[in-house]
Amino acid sequence: MAELKLPADEKTIRALKVGDFVELSGRMITGRDSAHKWLVEAHREEVAPYLEGSVIYHCGPVVAKTEDGGWRFVAAGPTTSIREEPYQADVIRGYRLRGVIGKGGMGKKTLDGLASGGAVYLHAIGGAAQLLAAAVTRVERVFMLEEFGVPEALWVIQVERFPVVVSMDSHGGSLHDEVEAASKSRLDELLAKK
Amino acid sequence: MADQPSRVETFVELIRRAAVDLPADIEGALEAGRRAEAASSLAERALGTILDNVAMAREISSPICQDTGTPVVWIHHPAGVSTRQLEADLVEAVRQATARSYLRPNAVDTLTGKNTGHGTGRGIPFVHFEEWDHDRVEVRMILKGGGSENCGTQYKLPDGKLKAGRDLEGVRRAVLDAVFQAQGKGCAPGVLGVCIGGDRVSAYNETKRQLLRPLEDVNPNSELAALEQRVLDEANTLGIGPMGFGGQTTLLGVKIGVLDRLPACYFVTVSYMCWADRRAGVSIDSGGQATWLS
């Protein structure tokens, strides 16, 4: 399994193809529903440096306070990505993201955004909250905690060998489109018989 | 009996058990699914990750999934037990379980968008009460995550597009369509709770109650038992697979219940439960002694 260091450059990202297993190491940031809306409403200068060249993780973690006043990720699997479809391409373009981590895949607008921006969609295993939290080695800081609450805040984290699968690449490839088309053919067969 | 846990403490433990471990039937079905998938396929590796994660969660007593869901609870109680007090104890237990990170603060004020911070809110947890003739209180709970909840759906038969009429063949067609529509988004491989009939509210309730049935439970109605098996087998030929990566393990189970209906209505209602099918139960006798249910 290839290791991908974050931040990453465009050439590295363009080399990734649908079906590749990748382990991420470096700094990333979490963001889900409220965060995406907020990121496109205005350019958020304070957060921009954490997004550029890195990836945003669709995740609403369980986070515990540590004794020294810091934070620890207790459970941190991906949330369903398609809800960010209206915003994602703009966030990729506006903040020069190299990738998105989530689950369930995304739509045409995002797929186009990945191609034009030089970014990939990385599928984490939904529900694997412990395994993924164990890959989070440090919580650096958090944005919008008071306003959005723990699950929706933007958490800046360091990860080590965080496992994902490339399910949408920067060349228009989408595993989700392939599986959906194949399952549609099979559904039609099943519905043709009684 | 000074060291007997309080009812709130028992409920906190019930929540912990639901959040950090899977019932044996679900874990067994995930293992069987893994064995059925091609070696080193995306599906096989996804199920391997899932099973590793379940073992980790159990080992360190931490939530399997960060979306610890809505606690949906069914309480059977003897006559004379205060349901108001039972509900208050359960709400307090959700708050304590949230403070102890067994649950994520998972209740959001819908109008302000602000998280309540303690895991409870209007309609959360969701509790059903039913009086019975036994002298014990029995509590059964599922933790129903949001990703899978978004895959729930309701069909109104007849449905011209699906060519689904008001019969079990129509039900089959609707349920297979629901599985197709969900793809991997509900965290496949999932379990379906289905209700035929009822109204728009009672039907969804029944779908969730069906999710309390263990996978090996056979429907007492032979026609429905056959339909459950057929839909399960057919859905697993759709090729959606774990996480929608492709593969043979799309569903772990299908459970179908029935409610009577109005002449004008024929609903087929589907709740999708993710692979992290978290359920737990406890029986509390009249002396306060708790027995954990599988």
Q: In what order do the strands lie in the sheet with B137-144?
A: B126-131, B70-77, B137-144, B278-284, B290-293
Alpha-carbon distance of A122 to A116, in angstroms, equals: 17
Contacts of B233 (CB under 8 A, 6+ apart): none
CATH of the domain at A25: 3.20.130.10
Q: What is the pLDDT of residue A194?
A: 76
Alpha-carbon distance of A191 to A61, in angstroms, equals: 40
Q: Residues of A with CB below 8 A from B181's CB?
A: none
CA distances from A30 to A50, A56, A57, B173 (A): 10, 5, 4, 39
Q: Which residue of chain A is at minimal alpha-carbon distance from B248?
A: A183
DSSP B119: S
Q: What is the pLDDT of residue B163?
A: 97
Q: How confident is residue A133, by pLDDT bands cut at 50, 70 and 90?
A: very high
% of chain A surpassing 90 pLDDT: 97
Q: What is the pLDDT of residue B4?
A: 77
Alpha-carbon distance of B10 to A105, in angstroms, equals: 40
pLDDT in tens, A66-81: 999 999 999 999 999 9
Q: What is the pLDDT of residue A1?
A: 65
Nearest to B37 by CA among B275, B253, B248, B251: B248
What does B168-189 look like in DSSP terms, one character per residue?
HHHHHHHHHHHHHHHTTTTTSS
Contacts of B99 (CB under 8 A, 6+ apart): B118
Domains of chain B by start residue, with CATH: 7-15+64-145+278-293 (3.30.360), 147-273 (no CATH)
Does residue A7 form part of some domain? no
Tell me the β-bridge partners of B153.
B270
Mark yes or no for CB contact B106/A167 under 8 Å.
no
Alpha-carbon distance of B197 to B256, in angstroms, equals: 11
Using the predicted structure, report yes or no on whether residue A116 has a pLDDT greater than 90: yes
What is the token pair recorded at A30? 């979490």
pLDDT tens, N- to C-terminus, chain B (294 residues): 456 789 999 999 999 999 999 999 999 999 999 999 999 999 999 999 999 999 999 999 999 999 999 999 999 999 999 999 999 999 999 999 999 999 999 999 999 989 999 999 999 999 999 999 999 999 999 999 999 999 999 999 999 999 999 999 999 999 999 999 999 999 999 999 999 999 999 999 999 999 999 999 999 999 999 999 999 999 999 999 999 999 999 999 999 999 999 999 999 999 999 999 999 999 999 999 999 998
CA distances from B109 to A149, B106, B122, B123 (A): 11, 10, 8, 11
Residue A23: domain span: 12-192
Does residue A182 form part of some domain? yes
Q: How far is B204 from chain A (nearest CA, A)?
A: 22
Alpha-carbon distance of B5 to B46, in angstroms, equals: 39
Does residue A125 form part of some domain? yes
Q: How far is B114 from chain A (nearest CA, A)?
A: 6
Does residue A5 form part of some domain? no
Active site residues per annotation of A: 36
Does residue A76 form part of some domain? yes
- Residue B187, chain A, CB below 8 Å: the answer is yes
What does A96-122 look like in DSSP terms, one character per residue?
T--EEEEBS---HHHHHHHHHHT-EEE
Nearest to B269 by CA among B159, B192, B190, B180: B192
Q: What is the pLDDT of residue B2?
A: 52
As for the ipTM of the complex, it is 0.93
SS3 of B283, please?
strand
Q: What is the pLDDT of residue A193?
A: 82
Question: Which residue type is seen at A111?
Answer: L
Q: What is the domain count for chain A?
A: 1
Question: Which residue type is seen at A123?
Answer: H
Mark yes or no for CB contact A64/B101 under 8 Å.
yes
Does residue A141 form part of some domain? yes
Does residue A115 form part of some domain? yes
Using CB atoms and an 8 Å cut-off, which of residues 42-101 of chain B contact chain A? 42, 45-46, 49-50, 52-53, 56-57, 60, 62-68, 101
Alpha-carbon distance of B198 to B202, in angstroms, equals: 6
pLDDT in tens, A5-34: 999 999 999 999 999 999 999 999 999 999
Q: Which residue of chain B is at minimal alpha-carbon distance from A163?
A: B49
- B234 near A190, Cβ under 8 Å? yes
Judged on CB neighbours under 10 Å (0-12, 13-18, 19+), B279 is: buried
CB atoms within 10 A of CB A176: 24
pTM of this structure = 0.93
Distance of CA B15 to the CA centre of its chain: 14
Does residue A2 form part of some domain? no
Using the predicted structure, report yes or no on whether residue A143 has a pLDDT greater than 80: yes
